[in-house]
């Protein structure tokens, strides 16, 4: 990639370092699958450990920045404007079940705006990065969203609500949305990691992605990846407060409108 800022270098270094350990942890989870106790406690430990490595590395390089993290929550920094938004393992259920599809997600927010984002899948060594105004990259290769124009040719990713996530009306609403998109698209995937779903939209693998009930650390980095790859990202009702509402639709510019409208029509 062209010129990479010092800050992005710091993010990549932290992710690589945490990735070495996380990869080892994943290998152990795979072994634990067969034990009766299961890997749940071990995974919580891996989550916390990964977050700590990321926090230590980032803090060492940028001591004044604040943090918003999935495990440890909020930490205000001396620099009131900038904070890191971190998900140490996005795709925890996959990790627990020995499915190699998860990532760490790091975003840098400056005065409420995401200015740098990184999504790193350590197993497949996929490093997705973006900086505001500088484009999005996968392992040094510039990314563009897909150029498919028709819903009928489009592959979409989503997240399916599950036990403990969303009440019954939420589940019914989602089934209607999925029914509507099934009827007009080339297919729907539920891979289980929102940050990677967004990274895949940026890479043109999926034409679009929608989900509700997400947390800022699931999507902060991915939003910038999609935008810097030429895609559009809004809430499902068209607003711009994805980090606050957890509602998101991200897609290439041709199908973003049709996807959003189909979801809204399905909701009635
Ligand atoms: C989850 C993943 C999943 C999405 C869930 C998230 P976690 O994050 O991003 O794809 O559908 O809503 O909670 O729990 O694996 O970090
Ligand atoms: Ca997550």
Structural contact between residues 101 and 192, judged by C-beta atoms closer than 8 angstroms? yes
* Residues facing residue 83 across a β-bridge: 66, 109
Please state which of the ranges 39-43, 184-188, 241-245, 246-250 shows the lowest mean pLDDT: 39-43
Confirm if 158 and 193 have CB atoms less than 8 A apart: no
Q: Is the pLDDT of residue 37 over 60?
A: no
Q: Is the pLDDT of residue 228 over 80?
A: yes
pLDDT for res 50:
95
Same domain, 157 and 87: no
| Mutational test site, ligand 1, from 192, 212, 247, max ligand atoms within 8 Å of CB | 192
Altogether, the residues listed in the chain come to a count of 268
Is residue 208's pLDDT more than 60?
A: yes
Residue of the CA atom closest to atom 15 of ligand 1? 91
What percentage of the chain carries pLDDT values higher than 90? 83
- Torsions phi, psi of 19, nearest 5? -65, -35
What's the token pair of residue 43?
A: 């995974």
Torsion of CA 121, 13, 204, 116, to 10 degrees: 120
Sheet holding 66-69, edge to edge: 73-75, 66-69, 82-90, 103-110, 113-121, 126-131, 135-138, 141-142
Confidence of residue 169 (pLDDT cuts 50, 70, 90): confident
For residue 36, tell me if it sits in a domain.
yes
Nearest Cα to Cα of residue 128 among 5, 258, 12:
12
99 Cβ neighbours under 8 A, 6+ residues apart: 192
Q: Return the structure tokens found at 226.
A: 């999609």
Instruction: Give the total number of structural domains in the chain.
Output: 2
Q: What is the CATH number of the domain that holds 213?
A: 3.40.190.80
The two tokens of residue 216 are 């800022």
Write down the pTM of the prediction.
0.96
Distance CA 77, CA 54 (A): 16
**Using a 6 Å CB cutoff, which residues line ligand 1?**
87, 90-93, 159, 192-194, 211, 213-214, 218
Report the pLDDT averaged over residues 137-158.
97
Q: What angle do CA 29, 30, 32 make, to 5 degrees?
A: 60
Query: CA-CA distance, 266 to 22, in Å (whole number)?
Result: 40
Question: From the alpha carbon of 213, which atom of ligand 1 is closest?
Answer: 12
- pLDDT surpasses 70 at 44: yes
Structure token digits, residue 78: 């001396």
Return the structure tokens found at 223: 């939003």
Write the residue with the smallest CA distance to atom 14 of ligand 1.
92
Q: Is 1 contained in some domain?
A: no
Q: Which residues surround ligand 2, an ion (CB under 5 A)?
A: 87, 90, 218
Owning domain of residue 169: 151-267
* The predicted structure's pLDDT at residue 206: 98
Q: pLDDT digits over 46-73, tens only?
A: 999 999 999 999 999 999 999 999 888 8
> Ligand 2: distance of its center to the CA of 236 in Å?
19
- Are 261 and 168 contained in the same domain? yes
Residue 81 falls inside a structural domain: yes
Rounded Cα distance, 134 and 4, in Å: 9
If asked whether residues 128 and 224 sit together in one domain, one would say no
Give yes or no: residues 26 and 126 share one domain: yes
What does the block give as tokens for 209?
């992605």
> Is there a single domain that holds both residue 53 and residue 120?
yes
Assigned domain for 91 exists: yes
The residues annotated with a catalytic role in the active site are 70, 87, 89-90, 92, 218
Statement to judge: residues 15 and 80 lie in one domain: yes
**Residue 167: what pLDDT?**
65
Give the chain's mean pLDDT.
93
Shortest-distance Cα residue to atom 11 of ligand 1: 159
Q: Residues 45, 135: one domain?
A: yes
Identify the sign of the CA torsion 148, 151, 153, 159: positive
In the reported structure, the alpha carbon of residue 163 is separated from the centroid of ligand 1 by a whole-number distance in angstroms of 13
Nearest CA to ligand 1 atom 2: 193
Asked whether residue 248 carries a pLDDT value surpassing 60, the answer given is yes
Same domain, 136 and 160: no
Tell me how far the alpha carbon of residue 87 lies from the centroid of ligand 2, in angstroms: 6
Together in a domain, 108 and 10: yes
Across 35-177, where does the E strand assignment appear? Answer: 66-69, 73-75, 82-90, 103-110, 113-121, 126-131, 135-138, 141-142, 155-158
Which of 142, 159, 181 is the last residue in one of the domains?
142
CB 244 within 8 A of CB 112: no
Q: State the CB neighbour count (10 A cutoff) for residue 135.
A: 17
- Does one domain contain both 124 and 171? no
Q: Are 114 and 221 in contact (CB under 8 A)?
A: yes
Q: What confidence score (pLDDT) does residue 213 get?
A: 94
**Domain final residue pick, 116, 142, 168:** 142
Mean pLDDT of 182-192: 98
Residue 166: its pLDDT value, please? 66
Domain identity same for 20 and 127: yes
CATH number, residue 81: 3.30.540.10
- Of the residues 142, 165, 191, the one at which a domain ends: 142
Q: At residue 257, does pLDDT exceed 60?
A: yes
> Same domain for 70 and 160?
no
What ligand 1 atom has the least distance to the C-alpha of 190? 10
């Amino acid at each position: 990639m062209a010129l990479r800022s010092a800050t992005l270098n710091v993010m990549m270094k932290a992710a690589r370092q945490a990735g070495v350990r996380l990869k080892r942890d994943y290998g152990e989870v795979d072994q634990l699958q067969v034990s009766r106790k299961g890997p749940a406690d071990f995974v919580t430990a891996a989550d916390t450990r990964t977050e700590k490595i990321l926090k230590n590395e980032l803090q060492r390089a940028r001591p004044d920045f604040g943090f918003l993290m999935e495990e440890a929550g909020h930490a205000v920094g001396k620099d009131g404007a900038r904070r890191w938004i971190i998900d140490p393992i996005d795709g925890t259920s996959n990790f627990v079940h020995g499915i190699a599809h998860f990532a760490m997600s790091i975003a840098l927010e400056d005065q409420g705006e995401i200015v740098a984002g990184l999504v790193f899948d350590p197993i497949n060594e996929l490093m997705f990065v973006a900086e505001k105004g500088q484009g999005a990259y996968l392992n040094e290769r510039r990314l563009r969203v897909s150029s498919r124009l028709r819903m009928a040719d489009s592959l979409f990713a989503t997240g399916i609500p599950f036990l403990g996530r969303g009440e019954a009306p939420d589940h019914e609403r989602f089934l209607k949305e999925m029914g509507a998109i099934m009827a007009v698209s080339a297919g729907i995937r539920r891979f289980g990691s929102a940050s990677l779903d967004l990274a895949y939209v940026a890479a043109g693998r999926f034409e679009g992605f929608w989900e509700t009930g997400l947390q800022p650390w699931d999507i902060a980095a991915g939003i910038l990846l999609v935008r810097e790859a030429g895609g559009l990202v809004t809430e499902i009702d068209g607003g711009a407060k994805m980090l606050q509402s957890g509602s998101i639709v991200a897609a290439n510019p041709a199908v973003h409108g049709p996807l959003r409208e189909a979801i809204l029509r399905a909701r009635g």
